[in-house]
Structure 1
Amino acid sequence: MLAPTPASPESAGMSQQAFDRMEEHIKRRYIDAGRFPGTQLLVYRRGKIVHSAVQGFADLERKAAMKHDTIFRIYSMTKPITSVAFMMLFEEGRVALDEPVHKYVPEWKNLGVFQAGVWPAFLTRPPSRPMQIVDLLRHTSGLTYGFQQRSNVDAAYRELKIGTVEKSGTLQSMVDDLAKIPLEFSPGEAWNYSVSTDVIGYLIGKISGQPFEQFLRERILDPLEMNDTDFFVGADKVHRFAACYSADPQGGMTFHAADRKDGMTLQDDPTTSSFLAPPSFISGGGGLCSTAADYLTFCRALLNGGELGGVRLIGPKTLALMTSNHLPGGRDLPAMSRSLFSEASYNGIGFGLGFSVTMDPAQTLIPGSRGEYAWGGAASTSFWIDPAEELAVIFMTQVLPSSAYPIRRELRAMVYSGIADSNL
């Protein structure tokens, strides 16, 4: 794939000098310092790609250069795609956001809330109300992730290998296993990053009557011609698949910043990766691989009100609903979060139906716009969309975990510094 020829940044009210400064920062602070193997950055504004750059390596062991068509594990950047897919069913009147989840997963009807104990013997109490569909979309369900290593509940997730980076089991086995583990809290009482979006993928299959991955392919990926986005990397594309590294010297995926060391350990070799074959567990929360170009296509559809090139995913009003803050009481993530997760520390950031949402840029202490929405993946990939500035930004690399370095904050400051002609 040839590198896209960006339009002049000045033609979209942006500064080439700022982009040059940004790429130099990435090279010096991350690539030359041995923190990232390589990076890709795409910036789109006012209907034009105004910056497209790759640096470093996609695979250090084989000295394979980062290219514009490199394929990345996007992990939790899968979540917005899955959430949009679910809202397509919502628009068709096939599901409502305030419905109890046990309507579709009857075995969860009597899920209790953790009081005491360890797997498999827990003491529980009834929740204050049933889990609703909206709780899954906004991560207020009471579910969790095992990697957080915070409670006896997430220890049980690790025991049963629920929500691990290396996927195991099936969507049905995940739902069955979750029926045996209590909730961390009553639905709606807190925000906790979790396998909730994997459950949304399960519900898409149940409600649509077709496998989740087939629904995604037929309703989003194929219509938008996102041909490099899938739950595995085909044999004809392996040469474009990046290696994944860890900032943990043991090559693991720890989320304790005190353990972090500069440098990288190979975590997933692209020639032997589990992503080379179709998985048994189709993860709507973190299973997709993609390219920056494909993900930009998805972002452009959202930036255009849910439609691109005659293909409409969702209506503008549905998108507006998704990108509003849905945290109870209008609170932000720090006020509600129980999650050991980097984005949860951002003041002024709420959560919608599949995205984080900026409510008050002043509180974030980072430039931006009210109504901007975003998310990222475990291997330090990230994106954000700023409708007020007609802006979409996609950053790709492959280093676990996303909390290892403050690249997301730095990118936001630098990209916004390049806006010379603001819409605000």
Structure 2
Amino acid sequence: MGVATDTDLREAGVCPQRLARIAPWMDRLVADGRLAGLSVSMQRRGKTVFARACGQADLARGTPFTLETVTRIYSMTKPLTSVAVMQLYEQGLFQLDDPVSRFLPEFKEMRVAVGGNRAKIETEPAKRPITVRDLLTHTAGLTYGFMEATLVDAVYREKGIDFLAREGTLAEMSAQTASAPLLAQPGAAWNYSVATDVLGHFVAVVSGRPFADYLREEVIGPLGMVDTDFHVHPEWMDRFCACYAYDRERKLRPFDGSVETSFSQPPAIPSGGGGLVSTAADYHRFCRMILNGGELDGRRLLGRKTVALMTANHLPGDLAAMGTPRFAETSYAGIGFGLGFSVMLDPAKAQIVGTPGEVAWGGMASTAFWIDPKEDLAVVLMTQLIPSSALPIRKELRVLTYAALVD
């Protein structure tokens, strides 16, 4: 991939001079020491109109960041898992309003935390079962242990509920999740959670195939995502990016030590919520499939009506109306949620330029993507900085991108 000619840009409705603002923005992030390296790639009307990388993938090794750099995409795994779920839905194997306990009996007779303290949490019975759609929309009442905001979060930490753990199985971790109380009644609130990890186990049970195998064979493989998997293959290791965080002086430091120490072997638990590594080029293939209504290069993964259902808002309103989320890879006001993606409802309310109906998500290490069907646009941002809230680069890139659209 490379930067398109001015003629190509104009045919794609993009102003060359305005698009050129993205490159110096990227260079400043690296020169100021805010990011070690990053890539930005953008497609519009079927054309690659921008694709550039700068900085380093590994400061210690002096490895340049390129468009082929392999990164941890963390929660950008969730949309791929959601596609796997919806493929099985299309086969008539379940309905979205089915209780998930029909397939995962450990989720029968759930209880909901209503008070108490660390020594004894007070609970009440769930008023209705958790449905498949609840898991897809993060309204099941599940949570993440790293939130450290509620008594239920503490239970997750005590029970070791972590789908990135290096021991155990997907089935065992799903059962551990079901043994904890719910944070809220099913369907009552939006809470970012391990729900998509549970869906990975759901895919395994419904399909009768190990989840990682199913995702590789039915989603990753058919899409031609040749550098995407739950671990870094040996031949990819020289392209694998180091991950960074800020120290107390806001200087970059390695987040998890040597890049060879993690993701170099297949994981004990394939995390459908955050376990994949990928590249910009690979993730653009996923975005193009969604833009094309479920098809890419002659391979159809989903029906167009299924994609329309996934990318519609399934909440009564926006995220803010569903309580006050404690953490998400998006802002809350003006943003809804579909079956695996956030959904833009109202750019003015969200206080960011955009288009109603665009879908998006991001990962813990500051990666991000968005897909805008009305503008026939897909943008992928790759970098490796934890947490994703450390810099407002996603919002900045959105402004730079939409400012370049002139037709």
Q: TM-score range by the shorter chain?
A: over 0.9
Q: Name the residue aligned to 1:233.
A: 232
Segment of structure 1 superposing worse, 277-286 or 123-132: 123-132
**Are the aligned partners of 2:330 and 2:361 in contact in 1 as well (CA < 8 Å)?**
no
Equivalent position to 1:345, from 312, 328, 331: 331
Equivalent position to 1:295, from 280, 283, 286: 283
Q: Match of 1:418, as an amino acid?
A: A
Matches for 1:207-226 after TM superposition, within 5 Å: 207-226=206-225
Q: Name the residue aligned to 2:398.
A: 412
Shift in Å at residue 176 of structure 1?
A: 1.7
Identity of matched residues, %: 50
Shift in Å at residue 43 of structure 1?
A: 0.3
Matched residues in 1 for 2:165 and 2:247: separation? 17
Segment of structure 1 superposing worse, 238-247 or 156-165: 156-165
Shift in Å at residue 270 of structure 1?
A: 4.9
**Are the aligned partners of 1:158 and 1:164 in contact in 2 as well (CA < 8 Å)?**
no
Matched residues in 2 for 1:286 and 1:352: separation? 18
Q: Name the residue aligned to 1:246.
A: 245
Q: Name the residue aligned to 1:33.
A: 32
Matches for 1:268-307 after TM superposition, within 5 Å: 268-307=256-295
Runs of 5+ consecutive residues of structure 1 not aligned to the other structure: 250-260
Say which SS state the counterpart of residue 389 (structure 1) adopts: coil
Q: Is residue 197 of structure 1 aligned with residue 196 of structure 2?
A: yes
**Are the aligned partners of 2:331 and 2:350 in contact in 1 as well (CA < 8 Å)?**
no
Say which SS state the counterpart of residue 34 (structure 2) adopts: coil
Matched residues in 1 for 2:119 and 2:197: separation? 23
Matches for 1:391-402 after TM superposition, within 5 Å: 391-402=377-388
Shift in Å at residue 120 of structure 1?
A: 7.4
Matches for 1:30-179 after TM superposition, within 5 Å: 30-117=29-116, 121-163=120-162, 167-179=166-178
Number of aligned positions between the proteins: 405
Q: Match of 2:205, as an amino acid?
A: K
User: Aligned-residue CA RMSD in angstroms?
Assistant: 1.6
Shift in Å at residue 378 of structure 1?
A: 0.4
Matched residues in 2 for 1:52 and 1:99: separation? 43
Say which SS state the counterpart of residue 25 (structure 1) adopts: helix
Matches for 1:347-362 after TM superposition, within 5 Å: 347-362=333-348
Equivalent position to 2:4, from 6, 14, 17: 6
Q: Is residue 320 of structure 1 aligned with residue 308 of structure 2?
A: yes
Shift in Å at residue 313 of structure 1?
A: 0.9
Equivalent position to 1:389, from 370, 375, 397: 375
**Are the aligned partners of 1:245 and 1:400 in contact in 2 as well (CA < 8 Å)?**
yes
**Are the aligned partners of 2:74 and 2:275 in contact in 1 as well (CA < 8 Å)?**
yes
Change (3 A) 1:339 1:54: same
Runs of 5+ consecutive residues of structure 2 not aligned to the other structure: none
Equivalent position to 1:265, from 229, 237, 253: 253
Q: Is residue 18 of structure 1 aligned with residue 18 of structure 2?
A: yes
Matched residues in 2 for 1:397 and 1:189: separation? 35
Q: Match of 2:11, as an amino acid?
A: S
Deviation string for 1:102-151 (max 9, x for gaps)? 11121221210012345674321011211111000000000001111110
Q: Match of 2:262, as an amino acid?
A: S
Change (3 A) 1:326 1:34: same
Say which SS state the counterpart of residue 275 (structure 2) adopts: coil
Q: Is residue 378 of structure 1 aligned with residue 377 of structure 2?
A: no
Segment of structure 1 superposing worse, 163-172 or 50-59: 163-172
Say which SS state the counterpart of residue 385 (structure 1) adopts: strand
Matched residues in 1 for 2:261 and 2:125: separation? 42
Q: Name the residue aligned to 1:187.
A: 186
Matched residues in 2 for 1:138 and 1:172: separation? 21
Segment of structure 1 superposing worse, 270-279 or 289-298: 270-279
Q: Runs (4+) of structure 1 moved beyond 6 Å?
A: none
Shift in Å at residue 214 of structure 1?
A: 0.7
**Are the aligned partners of 2:145 and 2:155 in contact in 1 as well (CA < 8 Å)?**
yes
